[in-house]
Structure 1
């Protein structure tokens, strides 16, 4: 069976453009899978600032999913897909090709205020995390299982008026923010940095311009739906952010699919963030946080420190289905 046929069968039930109200939560991984799209900027800070100490260690223990990046996968620079041959030689090539494809798609009508966003997402939930070599990760506890299906109101007035989280936007707000983004990448990034401001304190430290831009792009990409022409502009702007890379082969996400990984190392700390993109329709497919340097993180009460090894995946969330539906509880 050739690769194009495999990919078609793998993604046969997937909807075409993608964009969801899913964000990795700091308090519980299950909140990230089924909760509101609250983007905790502290999650980024946890892996950038070692001085957060014991409080961060507890949070990390709740979120940590010890999987290991598959470095044994064959390197492929241009696997065939339904969307066309991929070019994973760099961010401008990969994201530029994705943008060209999306520009050719028809823009569907905006959802009605009374409609809902159906979302299905999965993530690894090991009861006793281990690494590729079978060794104990040093973690205790596990992430509780939850229903992978969730429904988010498209028009949520109460959430729209809640100013407590500067990163949160309802699905309708996100749609309109995306639709109004300028064509020029520099202007687009500047606008998103204003929409999703950077921090100003120890719990949420100020970011560099490029790190701020990448986080803002990530927050918006988690929403659904995004008009395909707007998604094209987002991808072109993402390719201009300093430090952004594209893994030169498809990786496996939490659901087992092969996806494109757009990555950026955090400016401080020893981790990187990865935005996952479907290679068939170039929709947002999830995200991961990966350790880039082996290091220890102290814990409370004199217990041995958690040892993070290079290649450990701290969080791995795959969005496997998303659609606009007419009622809560309805599935496409």
Structure 2
């Protein structure tokens, strides 16, 4: 069975991904399978997560996420695990993050000829009980994307925006949370056949913005304040582990119709984007290809990834 057929079968019970997520993902997988390591950014929303289950085949794809310009080891800041980190709810936690970010001096916007470098860790799916087969995931940890991507900016058919477009769109978002969320839905509209609710669409779009690199701190602060108002958004009352083994704040929302929740992971040190997890919320079985265990248990982690470095560099292949 070919890899694309397996991918289609693996996502049998997951909702169809929207066009803004699916088109760049399809292109990225195609490029990766062909050995092309210069494909466009793969959006978090499509990735392996939209399969809605554990991956039981090896996926060779370049994966990308964001961390406010820092790299490990992360410095201790005002909002450390030993400090007064408030995990009591979305308004408290994301409000605290916004206050911290609003006090930061924004770095200059990258030049059009610069590149965005990211390094990522992708963890193996983790069964919550027993030794069930969850599959192996392989990936290229390093990625370079042009800041001003003329090809992406010209092609509006799939809503794939360059880092420059996202940076400027985020800067232009209004202060009012309701108005900001409406603009996010305009930036990341649902697909023609998408069954997602308005709240799900909003959370997905906010996730795309939050993982983008770079973002101005005050823009991210506005995004966090607005995210706290989205129905269904919750904060896990304890720190969780990302794919790199680091402690992280989990901002969560149930993925409707998938028996899973999406967890956006934030650094408890600087509130930058740290990674992503998808966690099974209830025991269920899936329709999967022969030889793949269809049983998933509440607590299973079907996708976990972490960004361990992000920087603006002067050339493709350069590192900080």
Same fold (TM over 0.5): yes
Aligned partner of 2:167 in structure 1 is: 175
Aligned length: 271
CA-to-aligned-CA distance 1:102-157 (integer Å, 9 cap, x gap) = 001111111000111110111114xxx663554223x4x5223x431111110110
Aligned partner of 1:36 in structure 2 is: 40
TM-score by length of 2: 0.77
Residue number among 284, 306, 309 corresponding to 1:318 in the alignment? 306
Which residues of 2 match residues 210-249 of structure 1 at below 5 A? 210-249=199-238
Counterpart-to-counterpart distance in 1, 2:123 and 2:265:
15
Q: Is the 8 A contact 1:63 1:315 kept in 2?
A: no
Q: Is the 8 A contact 1:298 1:305 kept in 2?
A: no
Q: Is the 8 A contact 1:34 1:148 kept in 2?
A: no
Which residues of 2 match residues 1-332 of structure 1 at below 5 A? 25=25, 36-39=40-43, 46-47=51-52, 60-62=55-57, 82-84=77-79, 85-125=84-124, 131=127, 133-137=129-133, 139=134, 142-144=136-138, 146-166=139-159, 168-201=160-193, 205-300=194-289, 306-332=294-320
State the superposition RMSD in angstroms.
Answer: 2.8
Counterpart-to-counterpart distance in 1, 2:195 and 2:172:
26
Q: Report deviation, 1:268.
A: 2.0
Counterpart-to-counterpart distance in 2, 1:109 and 1:149:
24
Change (3 A) 1:41 1:248: closer
SS of structure 2 residue aligned to 1:61: coil
SS of structure 2 residue aligned to 1:122: strand
Q: Is the 8 A contact 2:128 2:301 kept in 1?
A: no
Counterpart-to-counterpart distance in 1, 2:86 and 2:168:
30
Change (3 A) 1:276 1:311: same
Q: Is the 8 A contact 1:199 1:207 kept in 2?
A: no
Q: Report deviation, 1:41.
A: 5.1
CA-to-aligned-CA distance 1:166-198 (integer Å, 9 cap, x gap) = 3x2110011001000000000000001011001
Structure 1 residue runs of 4+, over 6 Å off? none
Change (3 A) 1:150 1:45: closer
Counterpart-to-counterpart distance in 2, 1:270 and 1:132:
14
CA-to-aligned-CA distance 1:46-83 (integer Å, 9 cap, x gap) = 43xxxxxxxxx7x943489xxxxxxxxxxxxxxxx612
SS of structure 1 residue aligned to 2:278: strand
Structure 1 gap segments, 5+ residues each: 1-22, 48-56, 65-80
